[in-house]
Structure 1
Amino acid sequence: MHRRSLLAIGATALACPAIAQGTWPNQPVRLIVPFAAGGPTDIPARLFADELSKILPQRVIVENRTGAGVVVGSEVVAKAPKDGYTLLYNTIAHSVLRPLFPRLPFDPVADFTPIALLGVIPMVLLVNKDLPAQDLPGLVKLLRDNPGKYDYGSSGNGGAVHLATELFLKRAGNLKMTHVPYRGSVAAMPDLLSGRLAMFMDVAASGLAYAQRGDARALGISADRRIAQAPDVPTFAEGGVANAESYTWHMVLAPSGMPDAVVEAVNAAFNRVAEQENVQRRLTDLTMMVRSDTTPAQAAKWLSDEIAKWSTIIQDAGIRID
């Protein structure tokens, strides 16, 4: 009996190396970013990795794994050892994998453990400066009176901009506009400024610059409150469009089945970095509303709610990936 007990303990130790070999982390941690280096997701991810490397006994190394949207990078994490040394830094893109990609090499829910929701970035609704709508109620009336007449742009089918715009149109009374997808926000902006597009909803960090220069007009923010960078721009709810909040959010996930102690240790480390004043300042400059106290359970609830919301929008709008 004594020998069998020792064998059982040894098997448990091998199954949970993060606990058996000491407190996490005792080797470098890979933070997989399924977006290109230098982009709006990669920059905050590297900030977290750098700061984590200062407070942990091991380095956190960012690896950019792009391809098939976020599928390639996410698959790396889904199939990684369940030890806390391979993590995923993902966005709203994770919540639309199931409805947009019917044949995935992993389950975006069952194969992942949400660790922490780090922050949310709202959208700003921009219109061409010559559009005959001076505020959000005026825009809604214009679109209602002219169904299908005006075009809106997005950074690509199924992306955060596309989804946020379709949510807004639905909540504003099932308004009809023609969707024109582009390869990124930068490609769409010249057409908004020239009047080819009537409307474009961009992440606040980049979109507000066009309004501040007077190149376009900002009529609303997709958040639950106004943001410091644009205190004069009302929320959608203030403009009469309720339940249209949308964000591109940042979350850390891990393979499912990790030991609870490791999940808690990873969560605590990311929250500790998110609490730092210098980190909050830099993320706020990117118009991120930082979260520094979310639990794994709260992150899981957020992801579940987002999957439900966007699945409905994708189905109702008939969104398909090219």
Structure 2
Amino acid sequence: MLNRRTLLAGLSASLLPFEAKAAWPERSITLLHGFAPGGGTDATSRVLAEGLSKILGQTVVVETKPGAGTTLAGAQLARSAPDGYTISLITATYGASSAFYKSLPYKPVDDLKGICQVSEAPYMFSCNADAPFKNLAELIASAKKQPDKPLTYGTPGVGSGPHLIVEQVGQLAGVKFQHIPFRGGAQAVVEVLAGRIDFMVDPPISMIEQIKAGKFRALAVTTAERFPSFPDIPTVAEAGFPGYAAPGWYSLVGPVGLPDDVVAKLNAATVTLLKDESVKERLLSLGSQAKASQPKEVIDLLASDVKRWGEVLEKAKIERI
């Protein structure tokens, strides 16, 4: 027969898993990303870390794991315990890289659990202010006039989002551009300024100072609509590609297996944070617009990008690595 002490002990033990879940988070949380310190993604991560720390009542610590098109960070996240103490900020680059790498030590979509989209940002086509084309339509027209001498363009690297966007626009327009990859947007800026390449594509933060100084001309943005921070810059769709949109994005994810109640708490905290006007302003200053989502939408967006860029790579006959 059970005595009172044995019964109470059994009840206490049965409640432990529930109490552990309900207590999350009980310690600091690591927010991982796949870029070098000091860039736009790092700055965005720190905005999130600061705000989520206050909302969740535990410190959120940013950890950088740059390299291999963010796939090193992706592999680290996939290996981490699904307990809510390691999450990651991924960007549209993750989707492009997932399509570009033919063999990865993890499943880029299936090994992630969506938490919340954070923001959306344009990629921007820009050229030297002295270039002969005033907009994207004129750039394409110029490229068509000289098929034997392709216009050159710079991006942050082979297989990057900007690289695949130019490939896709070229496919749609029926023209071929010559890709000049760099290790980052800053190097492409130098080459455009020097007139050694014809144009570049990157998030606006890398070139906005040159545009303000009158040294660069912005030709188009890749978002579906004109971006609030750059209302005078037309979209790619307006340049003759109706319906075209290939925005950059930032999203929070965790490893697959992350409990639904932890996902719900993280999603609610992120949605709350993104309603804060000061946070919206800080994100805009970094070139992106706050945009929250449901967890499933994060994975749907990622899967769509991987499929899209895979098709672009195949059509362009670009060899995966």
Same fold (TM over 0.5): yes
Q: How far is 1:259 from its partner?
A: 1.8
Aligned twin of 2:71: 71
**Cα distance change on mapping 1:315 and 1:10 into 2, 3 Å:** farther
Letter in 2 for 1:197: I
Residues 3-37 of structure 1: per-residue CA shift (max 9 Å, x gap) = 9xx99x979x88xx686342321221111122111
C-alpha distance in 2 between matches for 1:218 and 1:39: 21
Q: How far is 1:109 from its partner?
A: 1.3
What is the TM-score of this pair, normalised by structure 2? 0.89
**Cα distance change on mapping 1:210 and 1:112 into 2, 3 Å:** same
Q: Secondary structure of 1:269's match? A: helix
C-alpha distance in 1 between matches for 2:171 and 2:240: 13
Q: Secondary structure of 2:118's match? A: strand
C-alpha distance in 2 between matches for 1:228 and 1:105: 39
C-alpha distance in 2 between matches for 1:271 and 1:206: 27
Aligned twin of 1:160: 161
Letter in 2 for 1:147: P
Q: Secondary structure of 1:219's match? A: strand
Aligned twin of 1:217: 217
Confirm or deny that 1:318 pairs with 2:312: no
Q: How far is 1:115 from its partner?
A: 1.0
Aligned twin of 2:131: 131
Structure 1 unmatched ranges of 5 or more: none
Aligned twin of 1:30: 30
Alignment of structure 1 residues 70-149 onto 2, 5 Å: 70-149=70-149
Q: Secondary structure of 2:23's match? A: coil
**Cα distance change on mapping 1:23 and 1:131 into 2, 3 Å:** same
Residues 99-136 of structure 1: per-residue CA shift (max 9 Å, x gap) = 32222111111111111111111012112333322223
Q: How far is 1:269 from its partner?
A: 1.2
Contact map agreement 2:220 2:233 (CA 8 A) in 1: yes
Q: How far is 1:86 from its partner?
A: 0.8
Letter in 2 for 1:92: A
Confirm or deny that 1:204 pairs with 2:196: no
**Cα distance change on mapping 1:148 and 1:127 into 2, 3 Å:** farther
Displacement over 4 Å in runs of 4+? none
Aligned residues: 313
Contact map agreement 1:192 1:198 (CA 8 A) in 2: yes
Letter in 2 for 1:51: G
**Cα distance change on mapping 1:244 and 1:199 into 2, 3 Å:** farther
- Pick which of 19-28 and 146-155 moved more: 19-28
**Cα distance change on mapping 1:69 and 1:19 into 2, 3 Å:** farther
Contact map agreement 1:78 1:112 (CA 8 A) in 2: yes
C-alpha distance in 2 between matches for 1:133 and 1:182: 23
What is the TM-score of this pair, normalised by structure 1? 0.89
Q: Tell me how large the CA RMSD over aligned residues is.
A: 2.4
C-alpha distance in 2 between matches for 1:250 and 1:148: 38
**Cα distance change on mapping 1:72 and 1:133 into 2, 3 Å:** closer
C-alpha distance in 1 between matches for 2:36 and 2:320: 19
C-alpha distance in 2 between matches for 1:148 and 1:93: 31
Structure 2 unmatched ranges of 5 or more: none
Aligned twin of 1:305: 304
C-alpha distance in 1 between matches for 2:67 and 2:137: 40
**Cα distance change on mapping 1:242 and 1:287 into 2, 3 Å:** same
**Cα distance change on mapping 1:69 and 1:235 into 2, 3 Å:** closer
Identity percentage of aligned residues: 31
Q: Secondary structure of 2:39's match? A: coil
Aligned twin of 2:170: 169
- Pick which of 136-145 and 270-279 moved more: 136-145
Letter in 1 for 2:156: S
C-alpha distance in 1 between matches for 2:34 and 2:132: 40
- Pick which of 67-76 and 175-184 moved more: 67-76
Q: How far is 1:243 from its partner?
A: 4.0
Q: How far is 1:200 from its partner?
A: 0.9
Q: Secondary structure of 1:305's match? A: helix
C-alpha distance in 1 between matches for 2:239 and 2:103: 40
Q: How far is 1:185 from its partner?
A: 1.3
Q: Secondary structure of 1:238's match? A: helix
Q: Secondary structure of 2:228's match? A: coil
Q: Secondary structure of 1:69's match? A: helix
